[in-house]
Amino acid sequence: MGVGDDASVRARRRFIKAAALVVLGGAQLASAKARRARVVVAGGGFAGATCALQLRRLDTAIDVTLVDPDERYATCPMSDAALVGWRSMQSLTVSRAGLARAGVRYVRDRVASIDAQARHIRLASSKDLAYDRLVVAPGIRFLWDRLPGYGEADSQRMPHAWRAGAQTGLLAAQLRDIDDGGVFAICVPPGLMRCPPAPFERASVVAAYLKQHRPRSKVLIFDANNHFPKQDVFAAAWQEFYPGMIEWIPATEGGAVQRVDASNMTLYTSRGAQRVAVANVIPQQAPGLLAVDAGLASGHGWCPVKPESFESALIENVHVIGDACIAGAMPKSASAANSQALRCARAIVASLREQELPSPQFDSVCYSLLGRDRALAIHGRFAVADGEIRQIDIAQDADQPSPQAQALQAARWYDRIVAESFGT
């Protein structure tokens, strides 16, 4: 073997060693990347909080930060019970302590903007946070002035109570002050909205309160639509328990409110002017502004997502979950948000580990209180078919337990979803 041969063997060994180091280095880099992956969650409602907790449950090595300006979160589910004193707002308010216990870093701030190219977000306090994956879950915003006369300031006179907290307290106080014989109006907007059965739950619990305390009063529902979920079940319950107390006026009968005058508590429809004692005006809705400003919303106004992972259909490495996204047939509900968030967390972990996931199924259940000890459940199961989330079965009424049993289930469901979503 000559000198030239030795040199080529040494060169070959050096090449093999270098190649091995490259492979090893690549693997270390990949696993380090997975270990130190940074996921930032913008918004800590049912969707964002569930996702942050689930990421930590699935992989404690992931660095999870949740940003939300509110240290305490008041749940909309059961807030109609708080309106009439069946629950306290305090019992519906959760802190961020459960997140901290699970190792989620909570940052009390507002996400002001997203730089998807550089993969960082800017907070309202001007700090930047870098991410590998961003989950955007800001819920809804209200489209003030879509209804002429109804700007944000008018919600102090005509509360929406469509975000639980101070607004719930305001509407509850107005209900307590109503004179016997006074009208409590609920105005339902057109378009996609959070929890479509909730205005009719609200009508039921308000009627239960009025029946006991102001029996000559009435609930008028001015609806910009022509039907609502489980209409037959609601109508039958109203007939049985609150006869003559609740009147639903669909759009075809002049139910769409065209403008309001908060200074003299008047609603205007094609039927004319209606003065009321209490006006619960629910504004039209769209995703939280952050999602829109970041370019995550499309022409219809909501955020399209890939149904397998809830990654935005418009921006890579950014996921949108909860009320802000458009998830095929799924309703905008806390249980849908929770189900989407669990899947989104699994999909993020799988993608960081470069694993495949089976196709998802989702659940949603919305309980509506019909009275203090009776409720109605609307169940949905969903799966991905042809790239869309479709409903796969609906529980038949015949299979439903009694309204009393459903009221007990509603209370249990509430405790469970709050514990799962916020780690309480």
Give the interface with ligand FAD as residue ranges (CB under 6 A): 42-48, 67-70, 73, 76-77, 79-80, 110-111, 137-139, 162, 194-195, 198, 288, 290, 322-323, 332-335, 337, 366-367
Q: How far is the CB of 252 from ligand FAD (least distance, A)?
A: 25
Alpha-carbon span 172 to 157, nearest angstrom: 12
Q: How far is the CB of 64 from ligand FAD (least distance, A)?
A: 15
Q: How far is the CB of 101 from ligand FAD (least distance, A)?
A: 19
Alpha-carbon span 326 to 343, nearest angstrom: 15
Q: How far is the CB of 139 from ligand FAD (least distance, A)?
A: 2
| Between 164 and 347, CB nearer to ligand FAD | 164
Give me the residue whose beta carbon is nearest to ligand FAD. Answer: 45
| Between 91 and 355, CB nearer to ligand FAD | 91
| Between 102 and 137, CB nearer to ligand FAD | 137
Q: How far is the CB of 72 from ligand FAD (least distance, A)?
A: 10
Q: How far is the CB of 230 from ligand FAD (least distance, A)?
A: 13
